[in-house]
Amino acid sequence: MNIEKREYPPYKEDIKREFGYVSFNCLLANLDIIGVRSNRTFEIISVFYRGNIKVGYMYEYKNIPEEEIFKFYNSIPERSNDLKAWADKLGDKITIIEPPKDNYVFVNDREVSLVKSKKINHDNKRKTECNNG
């Protein structure tokens, strides 16, 4: 999945097609990832909100110095509820990109464990069974 060419945010179906599965890390549970795209450069900073509180960001390109990205991150509202008003003030300079509501998967409180493993290199010739003992 070429980061320069893909849709943002990726859809569940795209991730499954590319990697054969959807993985998650419990540390990222209940984390909303919202893209803020520059309409001038089309580069995206991914902003993380847990609940309504801004908790971090990720910038996957290399064109803008880290100091500028951090300064921009600090200008983004601390509360996700304030994003729309902030974006409206900036006018056509940015676009807020939120995942579609059906991109969310809810996992109940039962233990999630690996049943089958696929090779990530898309070689699907051989699947290995994972024995969790």
| pLDDT tens track for 22-45 | 666 777 778 888 999 999 988 999
Structure-token match 């890390």, residue found: 25
In the structure, what pLDDT confidence band is assigned to residue 86 with cuts at 50, 70 and 90? Answer: very high
- Whether the CB-CB separation of 81 and 70 falls below 8 Å is answered with no
Please indicate whether residue 31 or residue 99 has the higher confidence score (pLDDT).
31
Mean local confidence (pLDDT), 64-74: 95
In the structure, what pLDDT confidence band is assigned to residue 125 with cuts at 50, 70 and 90? Answer: very low
Q: CA–CA separation, 114 vs 106, rounded Å?
A: 17
Percent of the chain surpassing pLDDT 90: 42
Q: Which residues pair with 35 in a beta bridge?
A: 46, 97
- Does residue 107 register a pLDDT over 90? no
Q: Which residues in 2-127 belong to E strands, given as ranges?
A: 31-38, 44-50, 53-59, 94-97, 116-117
Mean local confidence (pLDDT), 85-92: 94
DSSP state of 79: B
- Does residue 58 register a pLDDT over 80? yes
Give me the chain's average pLDDT, please.
77
Cis geometry, peptide bond prior to residue 9 (ω within 30 degrees of 0): yes
**pLDDT score of 120:** 57
* Lowest model confidence (mean pLDDT) among 1-5, 10-14, 21-25: 1-5
**pLDDT score of 15:** 72
Rounded to 5 degrees, what are φ and ψ at 81? -65, -20
